Amino acid sequence: MTNSIYFFLFLAVLSWGAGAFFDKMTLKYLNPNAAFFGRTFVMLVLFVPLLASRFSLTAKELGAAAKVSWLYLFLSVLVTMSGVFFYLKAMSAGEASKIVPLSSVYPLVTFLLAWIFLGENVNIAKISGAVLISCGIYLITK
């Protein structure tokens, strides 16, 4: 992988980590339902102008893409937002230092789905890494 990939991964991890912190802070003042819909509202306010600025290009690309791409976009949003809702419910009832690591096992689901449905290769290094990550998450939450 290139340095730019590592840089963007670093920024993603930093953003997600800080996001979980701010989620927990938000849940001190709002119940999970209000936090979920408040988050959605803030996202709309922030991203509608971005969408408007890229609307014609995005519409052109979506129009040229296979029709099944709409299904995958819909499912991606549906399951991701469902995950956010369930995560906020769990976060409101537990310690962030335990909830966040436990919710972070989702790459294992992606790993299995990619292997089963996309035919991505599985080797001993990937399996070992998945086991070690799982053990680490278990230890963090003890």
What is the predicted pLDDT for the residue at 102? 87
Residue 134 domain-assigned?
no
The angle at the Cα of 12, spanning 6 to 140, to the nearest 5 degrees, equals 100
Per-residue pLDDT tens over the stretch 18-54: 999 999 999 999 999 999 999 999 999 999 999 899 9
Tokens of 127: 């399996």
Residue 82 domain-assigned?
yes
Residue 115 domain-assigned?
no
What's the mean pLDDT in 56-82? Answer: 92
What is the predicted pLDDT for the residue at 87? 94
Per-residue pLDDT tens over the stretch 106-128: 888 888 999 999 999 999 999 99
Distances (CA, A) of 36 to 9, 26, 134: 25, 10, 28
Residue 42 domain-assigned?
yes
What's the mean pLDDT in 90-101? Answer: 91
What is the predicted pLDDT for the residue at 74? 94
Residue 124 domain-assigned?
no
Summary mean pLDDT of the chain: 91
How many domains are there within the chain?
Answer: 1
Range of the domain at 84: 3-104
Q: Could you tell me what percent of the chain has a pLDDT over 70?
A: 100
Residue 79 domain-assigned?
yes
Residue 120 domain-assigned?
no
User: 88 pLDDT exceeds 90?
Assistant: yes
Residue 113 domain-assigned?
no
User: 105 pLDDT exceeds 90?
Assistant: no
Of 17, 1, 9, the closest CA to residue 100 belongs to 17
User: 1 pLDDT exceeds 80?
Assistant: no
